[in-house]
Structure formats: structure tokens, C-alpha cells
Amino acid sequence: MTAEIINGNKLAQALRAEVAERAAQLCEQGEKPGLAVILVGDSPASMVYVMNKEKASKAIGIHSVLEKYEEDLTEAALLERIRALNVDPRIHGILVQLPLPPHINTHRVIETIAPEKDMDCFHVVNAGMLMTGMPRIRPCTPYGVMKMLESIQYPVVGSHAVVVGASNIVGKPMAMMLLQAGATVTICNSKTRDLGHHTRLADILISATGQRHIIKGGMVKPGAVVIDVGVERDKDGKLWSDVEFDSVREVAGYLSPVPGGVGPMTITMLLVNTIEAAEKALQAKRVAS
Ligand code: GUN
């Protein structure tokens, strides 16, 4: 079997056209959607991510503000900036790019973002709402993966999904969203003993560990959907991901590649979240007036 490739670029393009339409409608009604992205330090990988986010936002008509700060920015200064953005009516969404420098308490930073402006769904209020089945906002990468499964009309209900990686950014919320969509979910991590035993049971296999080629063809159930989330660039600039593409392609039914898979979908779902936040803000203003 040779897997069908899930083209994240193509799917993202189609969704962005819809989002641009909603952004135009908001602008017509005097509520231009606004997104602030904060980057602290000069990590090249983070820089690429935030520039891509800004470019995509501007392309669909979002008022995008990219704030770059030096590595030695104090936590107090960052919290003060977030508090100002929380009450800025032109800004509907805030994203603080992670990881932050070690002298800054990431938890405190996330909890300072107003929950209704937390575009990542990292705030405990939003994570709790997701967990209890009442999501107000959905985390961008898992949301993008769900859209990919939807695009191939995969019957998630009753399927066995295995998520490898248990981060707050991807693994945990991914497992929660699959569970709520009716899958039976196993959560593994890079240290799981006999990982292949678990992954071979997966109808849907999602890997987000950041460990190079942790998933190989022999660890995949024939016909499974495999979504590759983990990605890193080595010192020579070569891109590595969790899934060994060539061997897995021969076994899986569907495979999401790197690049051109989850990456563009994550950015797209950030745009969707920003538009939804702006739509809610407009609705709230109308109710109040
Ligand atoms: N760093 C890596 N992925 C993400 C993400 O989805 N959101 C934020 N804020 N930082 C990240």
C-alpha cells in the first residue's frame, strides 16, 4: 500500500479563503480583526514561526502586530505588555511564542493573557473548558489535525487513536479532542516501553514528540492514518520530523507530510481563532448597546 498524502497546504488554502471572507465581513461592520504575536529572544525557529503567522494574518486582512523583544526582557515588563493588550480593543487575539527564556515563568505569562484573547487555548480556563466538552476556543495544532481528519472524511467515532507525545501544546489537547470526537485514545510518550506495540493498534496515529523518526513503517498498522506533528531543524538546516516518511508511506493509508502537512494548518487555525474572537467581540458590543 502507498499512502495517500494529506496535503496541508491545499487544505489550508481553502480554509484561508473562507476566513478571509469572514475577515472582510467584520471589517465592513467596523470590527477589523486584530492579532498580537509576541516573541522574546532571537531563536531562529521561533522567528520563522512568528513571521509566517504575521504574513498569513496580513494576507487575509487581519490587523497583525508582531512585537519582538530582547532575550533579557524582564517577566514584569512582559506581563505589563500583555495587560495592555488585554484591554486594547483593536486586539482580539494574543499569542506569546513559546518557549520563553528560562528566567520567565511561562505559566504566569499564559495565565496573564485574558482568556477570551488566548488564541492558543493554553490558559487554564480555556484548557478546562476544552476538557469539559465546552470549548470556547480550540488549540491551533490539534484543531488543524481534526480538520485534516475531516477532510478525508475519516470515521473517528469508534476508532482507536494513539497520540505519541503528551505536551500541553499538542499531545494532551489532541487526545482530549479525539476522545470528544468519539475515538478510543491511548496517550504515549517518547519513553513508552515497546512503543510499537501501542502504535500498531492505531487507526489514527499522531506523533508529536520532536524525536527524529520515532515512528517507522514497522510500527504502523496497515491502512492507518498517520499525522506527523513533531518537527525540528538540525544545525545544518535539514528538517527532521517524527515520522520516517519513506517506510511509513508504504504501510499507512493516509500520511500527513513535513513540510506541507500540519504546519500550514496550525497557522490557519490561529487565523480562524482570531476571526472567531473578533466575531464574539462584535456580538458582545451589539448586546451591550
Ligand atoms: N511554540 C511551538 N508551537 C507553539 C504554538 O502552537 N503556540 C505558541 N504560542 N508557541 C508555540
- pLDDT tens readout for residues 91-111: 999 999 999 999 999 999 999
Average pLDDT over residues 10-28: 98
CB 277 within 8 A of CB 92: yes
Give, in order, the Cα–Cα distances in Å from 83 to each of 33, 125, 278, 285: 19, 17, 18, 21
Residues in contact with 37: Cβ distance below 8 Å, sequence separation at least 6, in sequence order: 50, 53, 54, 64, 65, 66, 67, 95, 97
Task: Tell me if residue 224 falls in helix, strand or coil.
Answer: coil
Tell whether the model's pLDDT for residue 126 goes beyond 90.
yes
pLDDT at 235: 87
- The DSSP 8-state label assigned to residue 180 in this structure reads H
What pTM value is reported for the model?
Answer: 0.97
CB 38 within 8 A of CB 78: yes
Q: Give the ligand 1 atom nearest the CA of 98.
A: 10
The protein residue whose alpha carbon is closest to atom 2 in ligand 1 is 98
Residues 46-83 have pLDDT tens digits of 999 999 999 999 999 999 999 999 999 999 999 999 99
The protein residue whose alpha carbon is closest to atom 11 in ligand 1 is 98
Tell whether the model's pLDDT for residue 1 goes beyond 90.
no
pLDDT band for position 266 (cuts 50, 70, 90): very high
Tell whether the model's pLDDT for residue 289 goes beyond 90.
no
Tell whether the model's pLDDT for residue 132 goes beyond 90.
yes
pLDDT at 184: 98
Pocket test for ligand 1, best of 39, 95, 96, 271 (most atoms within 8 A of CB): 95
**In the chain, pLDDT over 70 holds for what percent of residues?**
100
- Reply yes or no on whether 53 is catalytic: yes
Q: Where in the chain is the domain with CATH 3.40.50.720?
A: 140-264
pLDDT at 176: 98
The protein residue whose alpha carbon is closest to atom 9 in ligand 1 is 97
Average pLDDT taken over every residue of the chain: 97
Q: Where in the chain is the domain with CATH 3.40.50.10860?
A: 30-116
Average pLDDT over residues 130-144: 97
Q: Pick the catalytic residue from 117, 118, 120, 242.
A: 120
CATH, range 30-116 = 3.40.50.10860
Residues linked to residue 35 through DSSP beta bridges, in sequence order: 64, 93
Residues 156-170 have pLDDT tens digits of 999 999 999 999 999
Residues 187-231 have pLDDT tens digits of 999 999 999 999 999 999 999 999 999 999 999 999 999 999 999
Cα 101 to ligand 1 centre (Å): 14
- Reply yes or no on whether 120 is catalytic: yes
Cα 227 to ligand 1 centre (Å): 18
pLDDT at 237: 86
Cα 139 to ligand 1 centre (Å): 10
Q: Per CATH, is 140-264 categorized as 3.40.50.800? A: no
Give, in order, the Cα–Cα distances in Å from 145 to each of 165, 181, 278: 14, 12, 23
Tell whether the model's pLDDT for residue 138 goes beyond 90.
yes
Average pLDDT over residues 1-27: 97
pLDDT at 233: 87
Average pLDDT over residues 115-126: 98
